[in-house]
Amino acid sequence: MNRIPDGGKNFGCHTCHVDTQVIKDRNPFGKDYENIGIKAGDQYTPELGKLDSDKDGFTNDQEFAANTNPGDPNSKPSGQRAPSNTGDEITKAINRGKTIFMNAKLGKSGMSCNNCHIAGGTTGGKAMGMDIPTLKGAAAEFPKYKAPAKRVITLLQMNNMCLTMMVKGNALKLGSDDAVALAAYVTSLSNGIPVQVGAKK
């Protein structure tokens, strides 16, 4: 018991076990401790602390700090809002954006964004006799002036220009989940590239 943060004073054997008479009958935290803690020399590790073993929206560290059971989803800090897992939400948005990027049913042309920006936008190509650049680094240049629009536009507006002009589809409502997801995917291709607003290629 002294190997876990509260020393077992709050829930005793039920911190890890569903049935204290059946050692192998472990709750979610007990299973994570078995797979991680025991293999790490039978100790509570930082990795264990960051997990949300019982999937109630709170990490094991947060549960121990609040004197709630990290192995029981019905035992969780009261009066606290579960933190959003921003990393997961961003990943979901990027994946959704990639699906939109590859969708050949976005418009009437039978084309997807990937027809012009091939290999998921990571490689340049040609379309309608024009050289199409890679999208790597593209998001880092916005907002920028675009001659067809005759004004400075955002990345989301640029995406809509491509959708309406090339794909022959409808513009996505700015701020909608689909518009943001597509922008998130295109932006992900610029990770690590310095921002140069208005840059010209």
pLDDT of residue 12: 93
pLDDT of residue 124: 83
**Fold annotation for 86-188:** Cytochrome Bc1 Complex; Chain D, domain 2 (1.10.760)
Under the banding of pLDDT at 50, 70 and 90, the label for residue 200 is confident
7 pLDDT more than 80: yes
Q: What is the rounded distance in angstroms from the CA atom of residue 75 to the CA atom of residue 62?
A: 12
φ, ψ of residue 151 in degrees (nearest 5): -170, 175
Rounded to two decimals, what is the model's pTM? 0.58
Q: Is 30 exposed, middle or buried (0-12, 13-18, 19+ CB in 10 A)?
A: buried
φ, ψ of residue 43 in degrees (nearest 5): -150, 155
pLDDT of residue 20: 72
179 pLDDT more than 80: yes
Mean pLDDT along residues 171-193: 94
Q: What is the rounded distance in angstroms from the CA atom of residue 5 to the CA atom of residue 37?
A: 13
Q: What is the β-pairing status of strands 151-153 and 144-146?
A: antiparallel
Q: Boundaries of CATH 1.10.760.10 in the chain?
A: 86-188
7-13 long-range Cβ contacts below 8 angstroms, 24+ apart: 10/67, 10/68, 10/69, 11/69, 11/71, 11/72, 11/75
Say if CB 121 and CB 113 are below 8 A apart.
yes
67 pLDDT more than 90: yes
Round to the nearest angstrom and report the end-to-end CA distance of the chain.
Answer: 62
Q: What percent of the chain has pLDDT over 70?
A: 94
User: Alpha helix locations (H) across the chain?
Assistant: 28-32, 46-50, 60-65, 86-102, 113-116, 155-165, 177-188
pLDDT of residue 128: 73
